[in-house]
Amino acid sequence: MPSPFPGMNPYLEDPELWSGVHGRLIVAIADSLSPQLRPSYFVAIEERVYQTTGEDRLLVGIPDVVVQSPLATINPTMPNVAVAAPPAQPATVTVPMPETVKERYLEVRHAGTKEVVTVIEVLSPKNKRTGEGRNAYETKRLRVLGSSTHLVEIDLLRAAEPMPILGNSIQSDYRLLVSRGERRPNADLYAFNLPSEIPSFPLPLRSTDIEPLLDLQTLLSELYDRASYDLVIDYRQEPIPPLKKAYTGWNDTLLRQQGLR
């Protein structure tokens, strides 16, 4: 069953689904581009690894509450006789546990020299939220932007702060950034909202080569069907994260027209 949305399906942004969507989309992009790039280029699936302790750093115990228990108390009815205090009972607390995070991305490499020509990133929630994930990604992003390598950044997540773009006043639900090495600091930003189709764009390569179109809309539609997400998603519920108020009525009408509510 096809996705009921003309563009990005907001229900795929649910944290319980997005990890699978992200992994499948990375592979789908690679499989789509590989035959178009032969024999000059090949697409490598790479992995970024870092450690995080979660979104909120937790402290051992409760720092703003101090409980003092004397070693002994004095029985007022029996002056000068010390009575031992009962032993302190332990409280259950939570300590921060390191978590190893692995994030996949794509590198388009020249077949002859193995040089990285283009990096393709599909952003995850950890890339956009404050913390180790965003720090790790922004460090990598700046390294690519400071080189001659092209960068394609795909942001299909409404939640959290978008990646920084200088002088950009465009507000949108989703963003595709295409930064060509020879045009920096200028770049192409494809900004689009929930009701719109995901725009296609040419994949930047060396200037002498033909650039294939990256059709994310078709890839996501095929991915949705192959993964049987229609069996997993309950369209009677509101998506997570919630929609803007401007879209709630549109979403309800769209799903009712297709018999999903």
Q: Give the model's pLDDT for residue 228.
A: 97
pLDDT at residue 62, rounded to an integer: 31
pLDDT for the residue 79: 56
Q: Is residue 155 part of a domain?
A: yes
Q: Residue 140 has what pLDDT?
A: 94
Which parts of the chain sit beneath pLDDT 50? 55-74
Output the pLDDT for position 191: 96
User: How many independent structural domains does the chain possess?
Assistant: 1
Q: Considering the domain boundaries, does residue 62 fall inside one? A: no
Residue 260 belongs to a domain:
no
Contact (CB, 8 A) for 104 and 59: no
In a domain, 245, yes or no: no
pLDDT score of 105: 96
- Residue 261 falls within a domain, yes or no? no
Single pTM value for the model: 0.83
For 37, the 3-state DSSP assignment is helix
Confidence (pLDDT) at 88: 84
**Cis amide prior to 86 (ω within 30 degrees):** no
Residue 118 forms part of a structural domain: yes
Q: What is the pLDDT of residue 65?
A: 35
248 in any annotated domain = no
> Domain range spanning residue 138?
10-52+97-234
